[in-house]
Structure 1
């Protein structure tokens, strides 16, 4: 990597339930304007635009961007399932580092429907059919559940069988998420809950209950990515550097691991390995992480795959409070997908915004003391993973 991409500005709008959300273009406009204002640039300065969303017609990104300006620059629409926002960020970072552009806007938005995710286009091959065959092919008892919770219920079963973790361990992740979200004005679900509340909520699949599943929400977030010389020339901030970033997709080896119940951990581990190798930074050096907690088992598995705790020790890691303030590493200070919300296209950009605020020391009551490095993890089914390492620089 060239090492020349910086987060000059970020912005987002408060996430909302489908019944309370503004139209997607209005949400996106709010996030874009906030990011531009934070960066101190106008839309005319932007040379390329990457617009991420999953559920929407083609060129929805243009409609959203046109609410801010019509300058004739390229607007590229991005769709990579739940990793869509981070994919837009990955493209923006590449454009800046390669020298193709000096100032790029990446944003993500989503209008979600109530209920579990399902296929929209039923008259053509489902891109998740291969994944569904691999993950849970032998779990006929879960066949009636929606695909996404089924994948992670199977992962929880595999982990509990191998390491003896209990349902209470997974429930504690939801409790922690709400505690963190209580300090985030952008989060949807901010009321405290208990382990009993989590375990007694309606069963979705296997050990997964409703309060262990990220709910359908709507929202938008954005970031302005610039080169260092451009930032200096225009008097912009260049104190948050994208030090390393990797995107991975499936391999036969990763698919075999998924078949055994370890959802996406193979490609997550490879992305993390690449980031640590690029940067020379190890997981033990990282004080704050925004990771993809679409379901509690995914957060638990990710602790280990990112190297935040050794394999098989996530239960102790959680019990000791090493995943929260005062512990080893603060995970999801925003409240994560479980409590902040998970508008698919916006999720990765919202993670970027949160970690930028953390590194700047602008996160208010959820500030992680002394945060100088931050790690982002975003997963999209079908499949793609993006892991990003940010650093605070003078």
Structure 2
């Protein structure tokens, strides 16, 4: 199998843009990635687009608008991991020799409010048996019970990520918040306050993958997608439905193990991580599932300053979803864009010094979890 390199990246700032179409958002990110890679029409042999709410052939519309159609074009949906799934498919195409270069991009214009999904039957949603804030809150309550996580720990995660987001011009929210401000924000569903939840929004991200190395190329050491094993009562796949008495590996745990093995490294070898923080509790759970701290050690990890800039392993230096917001199809690829800039030394005031290995993680409906490891 051939080495896969990230040779170009592009990102459209996240936020709300009623004056711009979804196609326009995607086109902006794709143009930037192609320019960064120094290629144009004919420079890539396939394209993969991640989106959830984008509708039929959303990726085709972007390539058509840019005059780049004619190559195989695959639209991918895997919940919050859609962009990661698209990248995994693109990396496989390059590694196998089916393509010398591919374009991978993700785009989304999210409706406001609760992230609704046709994955759940209407009666389940009406009964609260869906991916609502109530589900996130129950998951956070379990963390508080099992991992010594306190309400203040949840607030500290939000404080950290919003502080990191101040230095990210692509984030939707670029204002630091205090612990007291987070705790005083409206209760959405106990224990989660409003400032502990990410905001669904709009944006786009794009990546060019190629077999040829480039002067600033970053290597894709692993790109792994895993689905769920049935049985967890609080799993992303069947919220509030399943078994409670068994210890079943989660999609994130399975994807992380496979990615570490493929890359030939472990958590101790990482220099920074971008991970799923749909809510503050999800960040702590992600840290545990990725092996960045001991299982049930999430509360102690937060209180010891885990993930802070200047710590041994910064987590969500971009501000994460809590600061950036979450356009589902673009969020995983935005992580890859951020980590590519970090590994190139191009992240500006949020640069992690000397970064050589980084991990991106997303997990969502399906359940699907994607773990991507980049190195230089």
Match in the other structure for 1:137: none
Relative to structure 2, which stretch is displaced further, 240-249 or 68-77?
68-77
Match in the other structure for 1:11: 10
Deviation (angstroms), 1:263: 12
Deviation (angstroms), 1:61: 1.1
Post-superposition Cα deviations, 1:69-109, rounded to whole Å, max 9, x if no partner, equal: 23411111111111111111111101101111111000000
Q: Which runs of 4+ in 1 moved over 4 A?
A: 142-146, 261-265
Cα gap change, 1:252/1:277 in structure 2, threshold over 3 Å: closer, same or farther?
same
Within 2, Cα distance between the matches of 1:343 and 1:102? 29
Cα gap change, 1:213/1:102 in structure 2, threshold over 3 Å: closer, same or farther?
same
Asked if the contact 1:109/1:221 (under 8 Å) is kept, the reply is yes
Q: Is 1:114 aligned to residue 144 of structure 2?
A: no
Within 2, Cα distance between the matches of 1:87 and 1:374? 18
Q: Is 1:84 aligned to residue 82 of structure 2?
A: yes
Within 2, Cα distance between the matches of 1:222 and 1:18? 18
Asked if the contact 1:18/1:112 (under 8 Å) is kept, the reply is no
Scaled by the length of structure 1, what TM-score is found?
A: 0.88
Within 2, Cα distance between the matches of 1:262 and 1:129? 26
Unaligned 5+ segments in structure 2 are 236-241
Please point out which of 316, 320, 323 is paired with 1:339.
323
Match in the other structure for 2:238: none
Post-superposition Cα deviations, 1:279-310, rounded to whole Å, max 9, x if no partner, equal: 22010111100101111111001111111111
Match in the other structure for 1:196: 180
Deviation (angstroms), 1:238: 5.8
SS at match of 2:42: helix
Match in the other structure for 1:57: 55
Deviation (angstroms), 1:58: 0.7
Q: Is 1:372 aligned to residue 356 of structure 2?
A: yes
Asked if the contact 1:265/1:302 (under 8 Å) is kept, the reply is no
Q: Is 1:186 aligned to residue 170 of structure 2?
A: yes
Post-superposition Cα deviations, 1:244-284, rounded to whole Å, max 9, x if no partner, equal: 1211001135x367354999961111111111112220101
Unaligned 5+ segments in structure 1 are 120-125, 134-141
Within 1, Cα distance between the matches of 2:254 and 2:173? 32
Cα gap change, 1:162/1:296 in structure 2, threshold over 3 Å: closer, same or farther?
same
Listed as ranges, the matches of 1:177-326 within 5 Å are 177-228=161-212, 231=213, 236-237=214-215, 239-252=217-230, 255=232, 258=235, 259=242, 260=244, 266-326=250-310
RMSD: 2.3
Asked if the contact 1:155/1:263 (under 8 Å) is kept, the reply is no
> How many residues are matched?
368
Within 1, Cα distance between the matches of 2:366 and 2:222? 24
Please point out which of 98, 108, 119 is paired with 1:127.
119
Post-superposition Cα deviations, 1:177-217, rounded to whole Å, max 9, x if no partner, equal: 11111100000101111112112212222211111111021
SS at match of 1:225: strand
Within 2, Cα distance between the matches of 1:261 and 1:361? 46
Scaled by the length of structure 2, what TM-score is found?
A: 0.92
Give the structure with the larger helix fraction.
1
Cα gap change, 1:151/1:43 in structure 2, threshold over 3 Å: closer, same or farther?
farther
Match in the other structure for 1:122: none
Post-superposition Cα deviations, 1:221-252, rounded to whole Å, max 9, x if no partner, equal: 00000013xx4xxxx44630011121100113
